Each structure stands twice: as C-alpha cells, then as structure tokens.
A = this chain, B = another copy of it.
Amino acid sequence: MTDALAAARRLAPRFAARAAGYDAGGAFPVDDFADLRQAGLFGLMVPERLGGTGAGFADYAAVAYELARGNGATALVFNMHASVTGALAGIPDTLIEALGVPESFLTARDRVLSAVADGAWYAVAMSERGVGSRLSQLSTMYTAERDGFHIKGSKTFVSGAGHADAYLVAARSAADPTLVSQFLVPADADGVTVEPTWDALGMRATSSHDLHLDVSVPADALLGGVEGLALLVAQLMPHWMVASYAAVYVGVAQAAVDAAVDHLTERRLAHLPAARARIGRADAAVAAARLVVDEAARRVDAAPGEPETNRWVWRAKLLAGTTAADVAASMLEAAGTSATRRGSALERLYRDARCGSLQPATSDVCADWLGVAALGGDPEAEGTGPRW
C-alpha cells in the first residue's frame, strides 16, 4: 500500500501537466491510464492472493486524493474501476454464505479480479436517461440464450466509455423484470457501441459517454453465475462511489489552493490582505474536508453499511462537494482575471470542482439525509427523498 500511495504521488504531477490538454478537447487521459496500469494501480483493490495490492477503502481514498491533485477527471474514472473491484473484493464471505450464493460466484469473482491484477480495468454502465441508477426501473433488459444471454438497452454517464476493457452492465430479466443482474461485457464484443455524448462543464476528460448494447455474452459473463444478484454489488457500491467521489473532490479543492498560491506568488501578490484571507480560509476548509473523508473511509473499512458509517459517508460527500466548489470559486477570485484564461489550472479546476455537489447523492440530498438521521428518522425509508 505504501508503494501504491507513493506511485500516486509520483504520477500526480505528470497528470497535472497533461490535464489542460485532455480537458480542452474532452479527450480521455490515455497516457494517465497507461501510467496507472504500469504502476500496477489497477490492482489496488484486488486481494494479494490474486496478485493485487489488497488495499482497504481508507487506502484507496488516500490514493484517489493524490491522483485528483493531478487530474480530477482521471481520478474519477479510476474511482469507478476501484469501486467495482473494491465492492467485489469486499463482499464478506459470511454474507455470501448467508445468502446461499453458489460457489461459482466466488470462482467468477476471482477470475474477474485476477484479470484486473493482470492489467485490465472496468467501467460501470448502470445509469440510464430518465432513470438514473434506480435498478428497479432500468429499461435495459436481458434474455437467456442457448449459450448465454442477450442484452439490449442504452446506458448513460459511462465514465471511461470507449477505453475500458469491459463494462459492468446492469439489466433486468425480460422473463422476470424483478430480477436485476449484472454482466461483465467485453468492450470489443459485437453490438457494443459508444455514442460520444459527453461534452460538459467540468470533468471533461472522463469520457462519460452513452453506451448502446445489443450484444450476446457467454453464460459466465453473468456476475456470480446466478441471476438477481445485482443488488449484492449495487448495495455495496454506493458508499464506495459516494465516499470515493468525496476523496476526488477534496483533491481537486487542494489543487485549487495550490494553483492559487502559485499564481499569487508568481505575480508577487501574496501581500494582498484579501487574497491572504481567501487562501487561509480555503486552507482550513480543505483540511477539514479531508479529515472527514478519511474518517468516513476508515469507517467504511471497519463497519461497512452501518448507519453511523453511512452518516460519515454523507458528511464526506456533502463537505467535499461544497468545499470544492466554494474553494475553487474563492481561489479564482483571489487570483484574478488572468487565471480565467483557458489553459490556466484554476480555470479548469473551477469547472471540475463544481461537479462534486451535483454527483449523486447531491449535496442537497446528503444534507436532507443527515438531517433526517439527526432527527431520529430513517433516511433509507420510503418517501424521504431521492434514492439510488
């Protein structure tokens, strides 16, 4: 793990140097991912017995923070891969036993994770337009075929689309629409097409395009070998994604402070009281958000899914999102007009930083859930707000 963190720190400046280029054209950070593969970071969450680093969530959050100081978009895509592999690796054996998950699931899982240790990486194809990531309302359906399954439907916000080795696709059974299953679909399979729809304010280099599927997959593409297990992974992934988004946005916020410090120092404006006050308050806010993310990550490792853990995850998401947006806006104001030129790190960071609060669970939703929980209610209950 020490090696992984060191690698992330070593790579961050390289990512930073390339970030403006990828951002400008909305191009996927191909070289960053080559670096990640070479550094062995794809296997970060894979158990050591399968050739990976065997990192825990807190380890991951530390890596994500460092990568995001280089390029938040790269860190976000990496985050999806880490979430998939981390969720798979983290399913407790006791849970598998309790649920009566067949032995085949474990074998399949290990195969998937071993491939990662060998240099593969996965993207997540879950959200759909108008549905978001509510599994029970997916319109992507699958049917059983002689040697496997056929999947048909369209996905959106697929970060890394066109570059991942395979997609983790969620779909419902045409035969029994209450069954939601997940399939690992190779990126080069016939009938997998990427529609380049991603052209957004920030995090432009994530290539979060649409994915169209009309594809046949062999039987062992079904994750776990048994239909209807999607919730197993899906229920583990949200805190993963939420908390790991948070780490990314704290890294982005710190990068904004660093960029403003550089900008003011170069222009010999470090004496301006208003700029100093902005930097000082930003410094404190980012430090606080980082501690909250670390605390949430520690608790995800120690007591995943427990109510108090979830509260820390929501706190982390809320504070990371709002801190990143507020800090980047203030840093731009400290640095002045010259920092708004494209190519300036702050110009990009200002756009990237705005996205954190908007990613699910949004800041407003996190605030509501935290309020409900503090008031003794159950945010998981029906009717209290938008859900996954």
Chain A residues proximal to chain B, CB less than 8 Å? 157, 199-202, 257, 261, 264-265, 270, 272-281, 283-285, 287-289, 291-292, 295, 311-312, 314-315, 318-319, 325, 329, 332-333, 336-337, 340-343, 347, 350-351, 354-355, 357-359, 362-377
Contact = CB atoms under 8 A, between A and B. Distances in A.
A289 B315 CA distance: 12
Interface residue SS majority, chain A:
helix
A114 to B, nearest CB: 34
A343 to B, nearest CB: 8
Contacts of A325: 329
A379 to B, nearest CB: 9
Contacts of A276: 367-368, 371-372, 375
9 closest Cβ pairs, A-B complex: A280-B371, A276-B371, A280-B370, A273-B273, A280-B367, A274-B364, A291-B291, A279-B371, A201-B340
Contacts of A291: 288, 291-292, 295
Contact of A333 (B284, B289, B363): B363
Given A261-B375, A333-B362, 17 more contacts: A201-B347, A202-B340, A274-B364, A274-B365, A274-B367, A276-B371, A277-B368, A277-B371, A280-B318, A283-B370, A285-B319, A288-B288, A288-B315, A336-B358, A340-B354, A340-B358, A350-B354
Contacts of A341: 199-201
Q: Chain B CB within 10 Å — which of A199, A287, A311, A368 has the most?
A: A287
A267 to B, nearest CB: 9
16 contacts: A270-B372, A270-B376, A274-B365, A275-B371, A277-B371, A280-B372, A281-B371, A283-B315, A283-B374, A284-B314, A284-B319, A287-B312, A288-B288, A336-B362, A340-B354, A350-B354
A287 B333 CA distance: 23
Q: Chain B CB within 10 Å — which of A272, A274, A284, A314 has the most?
A: A284
A265 B336 contact: no
Given A280-B366, A354-B350, A375 B340 contact: no
Contacts of A311: 283
Nearest to A296: B287
A207 B273 CA distance: 32
